[in-house]
């Protein structure tokens, strides 16, 4: 073959294009095909059980048609698997509504347990971003065996809740109660604590993440009507559409608890101001949280800005006589009370 730089270049771009289509992160054909191979019977069974479990928990009824719409599998496969599951006594029909048997519920709980434990693991022990937790846990829940799950749970210290605030079922199937109600149900001027952030559907969850709303933070509702819900939290004002706000669960706080109202985020501290730290937000997890504690970012410590950065970030904070630089997203997770 005769060499011609144009041909060589074209050939190169063709090969590069093919490789890109095959292997680009997440959407590459190679990964898609690999995932499709994964959707064997076990996965379908487990996904059906999980769906039914969630539906029954929220008091909804499911027939085969809705199930087929909910799951992203081949319709024929779902129908076949449902048939098999009735034979194996995992589910049964009440008229045309699908119900879990006791055995089916146990199985479903086990899957939910793995899913939430894995999300917890991703949050505490890895650096994956929040958007990815759910999908990764969806993959993992079909892979871990019973023993592996228990080892994982022990390794994480048998946590009670996953990072979104959903309860993790124990080995024996016990589930903690999530306190609180959906945010739109709270009247104006209620003070409460965010106890749960729903991570589905994806679009709404991403919106919540973009707002920088943190798990476990205190809020005060200042406006609640059919078009928008406004609340104050940690010195910032948040405005949400009711449909987004419905994904937040907030537990009211009893009157006896003293509410510190002028709590702010460290990121809002200005030069020359001093403040006292009142705590680290629940959003700071695992290694990062330990590091902050190690460095002395603890309740009661006095803090002020030591140096501002020529590029705007990070600022250096003077804490316990040492100058420590923190980035904005970290500073946002440290709560202070300005003097």
DSSP codes, 216-271: T-EEEEEEE-SS-EEEEETTEEEEE-HHHHTTEEEEE--TTSPP-TTEEEGGGPPT
Give yes or no for residue 307 binding another protein (CB under 8 A): yes
Give yes or no for residue 155 binding another protein (CB under 8 A): no
Candidates 84, 296, 337, 338; binder of another protein (CB under 8 A) is 296
List of long-range contacts for 288-295, beta carbons under 8 Å, 24+ apart: 288/330, 292/330, 292/334, 295/319, 295/322, 295/324
- The Cα 152–Cα 121 span in angstroms is 8
State the residue for tokens 């903690």: 176
E strand or H helix at 94:
strand 91-94
| Three-class secondary structure of residue 319 per DSSP | strand
- The Cα 246–Cα 195 span in angstroms is 13
Candidates 27, 272, 321, 339; binder of another protein (CB under 8 A) is 321
Give yes or no for residue 25 binding another protein (CB under 8 A): yes
- Ramachandran angles phi, psi of 71, nearest 5°: -95, 145
Total residues in contact with another protein, by rule CB under 8 A: 56
Give yes or no for residue 189 binding another protein (CB under 8 A): no
Give yes or no for residue 257 binding another protein (CB under 8 A): no
Give yes or no for residue 274 binding another protein (CB under 8 A): no
Which of 61-69, 70-78, 198-206, 287-295 is the region at the interface with another protein (rule: CB under 8 A)?
287-295
Which of 252, 314 has the CB closer to another protein?
A: 314
Which of 108, 277 has the CB closer to another protein?
A: 277
Candidates 97, 209, 264, 325; binder of another protein (CB under 8 A) is 325
Q: How far is the CB of 292 from another protein (least distance, A)?
A: 7
Candidates 57, 75, 126, 274; binder of another protein (CB under 8 A) is 126
Cα–Cα distances in angstroms (integers) from residue 66 to residues 55, 89, 98, 117, 198, in the given order: 11, 21, 10, 28, 21
Binding mask 229-248 for another protein (x = CB under 8 A): --------------------
24 C-beta neighbours (distance < 10 Å), count: 12
Which of 28-36, 92-100, 190-198, 316-324 is the region at the interface with another protein (rule: CB under 8 A)?
316-324
Candidates 179, 318, 337, 338; binder of another protein (CB under 8 A) is 318
Interaction site with another protein (CB under 8 A): 3, 5-6, 8-9, 12, 25, 125-129, 132, 157-161, 170, 174, 176, 279-280, 286-289, 291-293, 295-296, 298-301, 306-314, 316, 318, 320-327, 330
């Amino acid at each position: 073959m005769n060499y011609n730089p144009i041909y060589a270049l074209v050939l190169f771009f063709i090969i590069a294009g093919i490789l890109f289509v095959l292997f680009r992160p997440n959407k590459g054909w190679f990964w898609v095909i690999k995932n499709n191979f994964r959707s064997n019977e076990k996965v379908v069974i487990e996904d059906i059980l999980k769906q039914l479990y969630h539906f029954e928990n929220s008091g909804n009824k499911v027939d085969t048609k809705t199930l087929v719409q909910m799951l992203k599998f081949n319709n024929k496969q779902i129908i076949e698997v449902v048939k098999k599951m009735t034979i194996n006594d995992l589910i049964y029909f009440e008229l045309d509504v699908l119900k879990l048997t006791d055995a089916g519920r146990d199985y479903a709980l086990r899957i939910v347990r793995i899913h939430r434990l894995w999300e917890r693991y991703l949050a505490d022990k890895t650096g994956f971003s929040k958007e990815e937790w759910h999908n990764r846990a969806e993959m993992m829940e079909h892979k871990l065996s019973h023993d592996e799950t228990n080892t994982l749970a022990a390794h994480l210290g048998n946590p009670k809740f996953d990072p979104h605030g959903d309860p993790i079922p124990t080995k024996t199937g016990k589930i903690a109660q999530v306190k609180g109600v959906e945010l739109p149900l709270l009247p104006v001027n209620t003070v409460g604590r965010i106890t749960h952030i729903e991570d589905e559907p994806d679009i709404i969850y991403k919106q919540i993440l973009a707002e920088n709303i943190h798990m476990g933070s205190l809020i005060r509702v200042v406006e609640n009507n059919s078009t928008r819900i406004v609340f104050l939290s940690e010195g910032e004002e948040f405005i949400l559409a009711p449909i987004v706000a419905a994904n937040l669960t907030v537990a009211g706080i009893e009157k006896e608890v003293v509410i510190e109202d002028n709590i702010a985020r460290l990121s809002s501290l200005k030069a020359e101001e001093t403040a006292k730290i009142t705590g680290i937000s629940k959003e700071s997890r695992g290694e990062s949280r330990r590091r902050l504690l190690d460095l002395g970012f603890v309740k009661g410590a006095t803090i002020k800005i030591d140096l501002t950065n020529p590029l705007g970030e990070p600022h250096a904070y003077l804490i316990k006589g040492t100058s420590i630089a923190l980035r904005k997203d970290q500073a946002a997770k440290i709560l202070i009370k300005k003097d």
